Amino acid sequence: MPRSKKQKMVHCPPLFTAYKPMGIIRSALQRLPLAIDEYEAIRLADYLGMDHAEAAQEMEISRSTFSRLIEKARNKIAQFLIDGKELFITGGNIHFRGNVIRCQDCGHMFNTNIETSFFECPECNSKKLINLAGGFGHGRCCINTNQQNRR
């Protein structure tokens, strides 16, 4: 029987979840899913420049698991760039450490920890807020996991 997959920690949800080549309508493109843990691997290794051991520790996974993740992610990004596919970020077996909130009225975005709830925009006082972690189906589960990890 296969071992259950360990949940990976992700710093915060991505600001953008879909990318496509310019000048081609979306319906004409083949879609290519990038799991959010693969996105996090790219962010840690290629954007922040962490080595595999540091990045694996940040995601609370083994170094070998991180190496497999980054290899899959880089392959998908290469397909996106070379074959001109639509790349979109999907969910996965993850929990967020932090969150990003976006105001639908003024566009203001702000980072927050996953435990904090906002009911209005600090810039324009609008109540039309988008919880980006919630867009991936996360919220209460991430709060509980983060609290357990602190013990």
Query: Smallest Cα–Cα separation from 58: which of 149, 151, 135, 131?
Result: 149
CATH number assigned to the domain with residue range 8-95, chosen from the 4 options 1.10.10, 1.20.81, 3.40.50, 1.10.3470 = 1.10.10
> Could you give the residue range(s) of every CATH 1.10.10 domain in the chain?
8-95
Those residues with Cβ within 8 angstroms of residue 42's Cβ, 6 or more apart along the chain or in another chain = 70, 73, 74, 77
Q: pTM of whole model > 0.85?
A: no
Stretch 75-86: mean pLDDT, rounded? 96
Specify the pLDDT at position 50: 97
Stretch 89-113: mean pLDDT, rounded? 88
Q: How buried is residue 44: exposed, middle or buried, by Cβ count under 10 Å (0-12/13-18/19+)? A: buried
Least reliable range by pLDDT among 28-32, 44-48, 132-136: 132-136
Stretch 9-20: mean pLDDT, rounded? 92
Least reliable range by pLDDT among 11-15, 59-63, 132-136: 132-136
Please state, in angstroms and rounded to a whole number, the distance separating the CA atoms of residues 112 and 122. Answer: 12
> Could you give the residue range(s) of every CATH 2.20.28 domain in the chain?
96-150
CATH class of 96-150: mainly beta
Specify the pLDDT at position 141: 62
Q: Which residue has the tokens 């710093």?
A: 11
Please state, in angstroms and rounded to a whole number, the distance separating the CA atoms of residues 24 and 28. Answer: 7
